[in-house]
Amino acid sequence: MTTVTDILDELQWRGLVAQTTDEAALRQALADGPLTLYCGFDPTAPSLHFGNLVQLILLRHLQQAGHRVICLVGGSTGLIGDPRPSAERVLKTKEQTAEWVGRIQEQVRPFLAFEGDNAAITVNNLDWTAPMSALDFLRDVGKYFRVNQMVRKDAVAARLKSDEGISYTEFSYQILQGLDFLQLFREYGCTLQTGGQDQWGNLTAGSDLIHRAEGKSVHLLTTPLITDANGNKFGKSEGNAVWLDGEMTSPYAFYQYWLNIEDASVIKLLKVFTDRGREEIGELERLVADEPFRRAAQRVLAADVTTLVHGAEATASVQAASEALFGKGDLRALDEHTLVDATRELPGADVPVGTGLLDALVATGLVDSKKAARRAISDGAVSINGDKVSEESHILSPGEYLHGRVALLRRGRKNLAAARQS
């Protein structure tokens, strides 16, 4: 594969560059490439999330530009925990950490090419830390670190000022991450580490260690924190993280998250999270300005990112569900999994078969009284699964519960609720 010489310009245009060590030297190294780079992912949860997706997108661009990518999953650093500015992490068991390592190693595979001339590889830092004795660690690695520099790292400094302080375990995290870069430098010739902007202190631990231990200079590149127009951090939905695992954030909820992005942020996110070029994004920017009601940019963003994370088939299913919920498709054509995911976010209640429609409308919150329910039915404003109901004596039958799970009640055009089989 031919190395793309202008990749740093492309990454900067896409908003994927916050900091670099020596930009001119990095630009030259990328142009002279291919170079070998890595990014680390700690198994602090059973799935990667929105913030990790930024790193995977960055690695994807660099690999497509001809460079060699290493995905490190932290079997050892995950046992320690990256210091947070607020409080000590709860340590996970070795068994749980090992399980999550395996899940994350599989989760990164769809984003990168693991075959071909510059195939990506995954590594686990437990492989080189587990055999190391405490004395070897202190003599061979610890001797290169200076405590006065370590305490100046942002997270460490914040914790030292707190009442809780910081344990030696978490204080040592930056040494372990620095060792990772040194190991990959020695074994694979890795000369670039990437990460989030908030990881700068941990990243410099590795570049400093290589400089002291090997007398060589290496490169760092961080991505900015992705925020909305008000400066709030993206990646939270109803107080929960947006996960890449479909069991933790369903493909439907994932698609809807991107579809609901505000106009002020959608072009920025198209640059970051999709492969769309400058001309395409320029046209979408024009549509946001001239025809915002069409939400054309949001639809492209939601489709592209959902396809990248969950695949084209899942995207087609959630698009069909989205259309069907708002009366533009057939609810009965949806598969059970997609139907349940699509209706999970709706207001609703457990409504057993045989419940009267008046009671069901009240129970699901579509109306506040039976009197209001009768009025809505007489006005022709009530439907079940898209079929208008005109009889207030209507009883919910087994066949109206799609897949035996849920019946979709509608009042008017926009008020939806789920009557769930209890």
3-state secondary structure 283-315: HHHHHHHHCHHHCHHHHHHHHHHHHHHHCHHHH
DSSP 395-411: B--GGGSBTTTEEEEEE
- The phi-psi region of residue 220 (left if phi > 0; otherwise alpha if psi is between -120 and 50; otherwise beta) is beta
- In the block, which residue shows the tokens 């520099």? 149
Give the per-residue pLDDT at 315: 95
Q: Are 89 and 170 in contact (CB under 8 A)?
A: yes
Do 234 and 50 meet the contact criterion of CB atoms below 8 Å apart?
Answer: yes
Contact 184, 71 (CB under 8 A): no
DSSP state, residue 374? H
Domain ranges, ordered by start, for the chain: 7-225, 228-345, 347-422
CA distances from 6 to 3, 162, 220 (A): 9, 45, 17
Note the pLDDT of residue 2.
53
- CATH number corresponding to 228-345: 1.10.240.10
Query: Which residue, 422, 407, 413, 414, is CA-closest to 361?
Result: 407
Tokens of 376: 């809505």
DSSP for 244-279, written as a single string: SSTTTS-HHHHHHHHHT--HHHHHHHHHHH----HH
CA 249/CA 246 separation, integer angstroms: 5
Please indicate whether the domains covering 228-345 and 347-422 agree at the CATH topology level. no
User: What pLDDT was estimated at residue 344?
Assistant: 84
Q: Please name the fold of domain 347-422.
A: 3.10.290
Show the tokens assigned to 239.
Answer: 């107080």
What does the block give as tokens for 161?
């000022």
Contact indicator for 40, 72 with CB cutoff of 8 Å: yes
Strands (E), 33-77: 36-41, 68-73
Overall CATH class of domain 7-225: alpha beta
Give residue 162's pLDDT. Answer: 84
Both tokens of 291, joined, read: 């025809």
pLDDT of residue 30: 95
Residues facing residue 233 across a β-bridge: 227
- Would you give per-residue pLDDT tens digits along the chain (422 residues)? 555 558 999 999 999 999 999 999 999 999 998 999 999 999 989 999 998 999 999 999 999 999 999 999 999 999 988 888 777 888 889 999 999 999 999 999 999 999 988 999 999 999 999 999 999 999 999 999 999 888 888 888 888 888 888 888 888 999 999 999 999 999 999 999 999 998 998 899 999 999 999 999 999 999 999 888 778 787 765 566 899 999 999 999 999 999 999 999 999 999 999 999 999 999 999 999 999 999 999 999 999 999 999 999 999 999 998 888 877 778 888 888 888 888 887 899 999 999 999 999 999 999 999 999 999 999 999 999 988 999 999 999 999 999 999 999 999 888 899 999 86
d(CA 289, CA 7): 29
Distance CA 394, CA 412 (A): 18
Contact (CB, 8 A) for 244 and 47: yes
- N-to-C CA span, the chain: 57
